[in-house]
């Protein structure tokens, strides 16, 4: 798919969790639009593959291996990426983990792990980036999920964490707006071919088809669908948008995504008992 024809030449876009799936798709779109792009995730091999891919699109790119749960490591990583590619213009925060598990089967450490990655990790990214981003025109984009607003069985950890991400988005928009920094979130629907999709929506044809029909627009999303919204939010064309949580989900925010993900969860629960 073509991306929005917005020129990001001279801008530094940092994507936390930008080494696979939706976030890598976002990083690729910014790279193709001329930005200098940096990425961060835990697995050094994924970081290496992603930076090579971004360079193959013509971008100046850098990557660091670090865990968003480690605030000091994130602060150091961001400092080193800024030393390589310059001050930040756009930050995309999308590192996350999720799995289906009934609440009574979920260990406290399982709950804490997802909250630590999705919510505390997002704060660590914000906290590490803000000193390098604090200027009029800068833009922060969280990647949240429908679970933030729609309660879903077997995802008490991800629902709690992503709800926190949404509210953090709004509070940071209040606090950082006066510095000229916009803070928004994208809430993708089911995005085909991604890790989250594999984990939450059963891969077999029948269930895929049922899930697809539950999306009002009748198709799953692609990373490019999400990347186009990110490119818009990062640009001056979105210059009066801040504190917004914007679905990119084919219309399924309230009803269809909930039913489709819940039906995948029910299968797991039935199999587990």
Which residues of the shown chain bind ligand COA in the complex (CB under 6 A)? 96-99, 101, 106-107, 109-110, 113-114, 195-196, 199
CB 148 within 8 A of CB 104: no
CB atoms inside a 10 Å sphere around CB 172: 22
3-state DSSP assignment of residue 92: strand
Cβ 17 to ligand COA shortest distance, Å:
9
Nearer to ligand NAP, 7 or 48 (CB): 48
Tokens of 93: 């925060």
Q: Which does 250 bind (CB under 5 to 8 A by kind): ligand NAP, ligand COA, none?
A: none
> In the bound complex, which residue of the shown chain has the CB atom lying closest to ligand NAP?
21
Q: Least distance in Å: CB of 226 to ligand NAP?
A: 8
Of 190 and 234, the one with the shorter C-beta distance to ligand NAP is: 190
Query: Which residue number places its CB atom closest to ligand COA?
Result: 97
CB of 109: closest distance to ligand NAP in angstroms? 14
Q: Which is nearer to ligand COA, 34 or 110 (CB)?
A: 110
d(C-alpha 113, C-alpha 125), whole Å: 16
Smallest gap from Cβ 97 to ligand COA, in A, equals: 3
Distance CA 99, CA 157 (A): 9
Residue 128's binding partner among ligand NAP, ligand COA, none (Cβ under 5 to 8 angstroms by kind) is none
Nearer to ligand NAP among residue 188 and residue 265 (C-beta): 188
For the chain, count helices (H), then strands (E).
10, 7
Q: Which residues are near ligand NAP by CB under 6 A? A: 17, 19-23, 41-43, 46, 67-69, 94-97, 117, 121, 143, 145, 188, 190-191, 194-197
Q: What contacts 237, CB < 8 A, 6 or more positions away?
A: 6
Give the Cα separation of 41 and 63 in Å (integer).
8
Residue number, 134 or 199, with CB nearest to ligand COA: 199
List the single partner that 190 binds among ligand NAP, ligand COA, none, CB under 5 to 8 Å by kind.
Answer: ligand NAP
Distance, CA of 101 to CA of 104 (rounded, Å): 8
Q: How far is the CB of 121 from ligand NAP (least distance, A)?
A: 6
**In Å, how far are 14, 39, 68, 106, 117 from 93, measured between CA atoms?**
8, 10, 10, 26, 11
HSE (CB half, 13 Å, CA atoms) of 91? Answer: 31
b (16+ CB within 10 A) / e for 200-239: bbbeeeeebeebbebbeeeebbbbbbbbbbbbbbbbeebe
- Considering the complex, state which of residue 184 and residue 194 has its C-beta at the smaller distance from ligand COA: 194
Please, what is the minimum distance in Å from the beta carbon of residue 45 to ligand COA? 14
Q: Of 88 and 106, which CB lies nearer to ligand COA in the complex structure?
A: 106
To the nearest whole angstrom, how small is the minimum distance from the Cβ of residue 72 to ligand NAP? Answer: 13
Provide the pairing of β-strand 182-188 with 90-93: unpaired
């Amino acid at each position: 798919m073509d991306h929005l024809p917005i020129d990001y030449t001279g801008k530094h876009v940092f994507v936390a969790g930008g080494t696979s799936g939706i976030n890598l798709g976002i990083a690729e779109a910014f790279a193709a639009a001329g930005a200098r792009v940096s990425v961060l995730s835990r697995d050094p091999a994924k970081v290496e593959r992603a930076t090579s891919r971004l360079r193959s699109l013509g971008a100046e790119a850098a990557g660091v291996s670090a865990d968003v749960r480690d605030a000091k490591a994130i602060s150091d990583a961001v400092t080193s990426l800024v030393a390589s590619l310059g001050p930040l213009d756009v930050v995309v925060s999308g590192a996350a983990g999720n799995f289906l598990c009934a609440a009574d089967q979920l260990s406290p450490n399982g709950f804490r792990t997802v909250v630590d990655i999705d919510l505390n990790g997002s704060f660590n990214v914000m906290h590490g980036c803000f000193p390098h981003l604090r200027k009029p025109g800068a833009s922060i984009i969280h990647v949240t999920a429908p679970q933030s607003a729609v309660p879903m069985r077997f995802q008490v950890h991800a629902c709690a964490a992503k709800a926190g991400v949404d509210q953090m988005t709004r509070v940071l928009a209040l606090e950082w707006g006066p510095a000229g920094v916009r803070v928004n979130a994208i809430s993708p629907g089911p995005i085909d071919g991604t890790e989250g999709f594999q984990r939450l929506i059963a891969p077999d044809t029948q269930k895929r088809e049922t899930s697809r029909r539950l999306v009002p627009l009748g198709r799953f999303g692609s990373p490019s669908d999400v990347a186009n919204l990110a490119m818009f939010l990062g640009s001056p064309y979105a210059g009066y948008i801040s504190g917004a949580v914007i679905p990119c989900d084919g219309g399924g925010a309230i009803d269809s995504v909930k039913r489709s993900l819940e039906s995948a969860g029910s299968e797991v629960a039935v199999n587990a008992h």
